[in-house]
Amino acid sequence: MTAPILITGAGQRIGLAYAKACLSRNQPVIATYRSHRPGIDELRQAGACCIQADFGTNEGIDRFIETLRSETDHLRAIIHNASDWLPENPDQPPEAVMSAMMQIHAMAPYRINLACRDLLERGDSTTDIIHMTDYVVEKGSAKHIAYAASKAALTNLTLSFTRLLAPRVKVNSLAPSLIIFNEDDSAEYREKTLKKSLMGIEPGTRVAVNTIQFLLDNPYITGRTLPLDGGRHLA
């Protein structure tokens, strides 16, 4: 039986696109979501096991791990895609913002990786962990300081888990910038954002899907962060 791929935050955007790509080639998927979205219904109809999970608390992580273990005894990969994007806000204590960002982007992957190590190491084949980080780690952010710091922490977790789990499990990060606009993004925002990269395009989720699959298929890349930014670092 083919081991499933766990994809967190699979209700929309990159997570949803990769889950659909897996299911289209009969790769089993376990998808998590915090809030129900139409994409979850699509995944269920296509055969995915969908688990509601709130990684915002340690209790929520505990419940998820227990549920996951009731669904499978092995995993092909874990794609840590669940994310939030809280800005610094005068109406919210800064310690609350930092705590929330670290909980979702660092604590949850840290605990899930440790708890699922045996599920990844169950068979004879190499398995994978991919952390979805962010281009912002390279430059920081004046408006999303805690978010950038938490994604930087996730990038560092990639290095540590690579050392811990090699050679049985490959661990890498994918650091995208603009992949797909939100429907409510203004024309002014879109124009401004497109100018930030050398390629100047909205590439769509296919580039992320292809890169995730490339990492899973390549037996000799581990402990690396692959940028997916259209040359933004040079623009």
Identify whether the C-beta of residue 150 lies closer than 8 Å to the C-beta of residue 87: no
Return the closest-CA partner of residue 41 out of 52, 53, 55: 52
> What does the alpha-carbon distance between residue 50 and residue 26 come to, in Å, rounded to a whole number?
16
Residue type, 56: G
User: In the 8-state DSSP scheme, what is residue 115?
Assistant: H
Cα(101)–Cα(86) distance, rounded to whole angstroms?
7
Q: Are 29 and 5 in contact (CB under 8 A)?
A: yes
Given 33, 110, 135, 147, the catalytic residue = 147
> What residues are paired with 131 via a beta bridge?
80, 173
147 is annotated as an active-site residue: yes
Closest CA to 3 of 71, 66, 100: 71
Instruction: Work out the widest C-alpha separation in the chain, in whole angstroms.
Output: 52
CA distances from 15 to 19, 57, 163 (A): 6, 21, 26
Active-site residue list:
147
